[in-house]
Structure 1
Amino acid sequence: MEAMNKVLSNSDTANKRLEFPVRSLPAFPMPDGQNSMEFVAFDRLQKPWKFKVSIRNEGRYRKPWLNGEWDDYVHQKGLKKGDKVIFTMDDQENGDRIYYIRAERKLFGFWYSIDQQ
């Protein structure tokens, strides 16, 4: 099931964090009383990446962001503005949730995986 899908902006690739769409927050439940949630997402090569989704804990504007190993992921995959990152999740029978991440680049009108690295 898709958890988050975003075409990257300059700030997503230049900064050490990804501006996270608010609509995707339900896929990343925060523990009660907390304003962040850490998780591991596996890329197509089954490499684990550690990420953290955080939200502001003050005010009405709850704009979330993702950091952790985001900057390393951007550099290893060679991501740039206009590329797309997709997080998916798989709920297990035991209640655990497994996350996956993949990166795509649009060429000639089609999205292609750039996860060969």
Structure 2
Amino acid sequence: MKPEQWTDIFTLLAIIVVADDRVYKEEVDSFVAQVDILKSEVGSDALVTPKLAFDWFVAQRDEIKARVQQENAEFFIVRTIQGLLDFPNHGALLRSMEAVSVSDREFHIEEKSIIQLAAAYWGQTPPY
């Protein structure tokens, strides 16, 4: 796995958090947990920690939310998905996206659409 792919992973999971225009503590906690799980599953030696993931989310949340609310949001989302075309474990990433999306006990259509879009680009079946 390329170390620079962590930015796209963080961005994609953050898109799931903000997609429904609400941010709950459970989603942020899940975001952090899923980053840690992905790091373990892909065996990355990148210096990615739960604190780094949380701090990154806090710093980038408003910008990502603004980009998701723009008319050309799909371009931003697709570019992020394409940045992960050669990620070594798309299934794990899709499961992480789903885990973040349902952590608030709701599975919003916006979140489901993003997961379906990623799965289609990666030639995968959505995890749900």
The reply to whether TM is greater than 0.5 is no
* Greater RCO (CA < 8 Å, at least 6 residues apart): 2
Q: Which entry has the higher C-alpha Rg, 1 or 2?
A: 1
TM-score, normalised relative to structure 1: 0.28
Higher strand proportion (structure 1 or 2): 1
Higher helix proportion (structure 1 or 2): 2
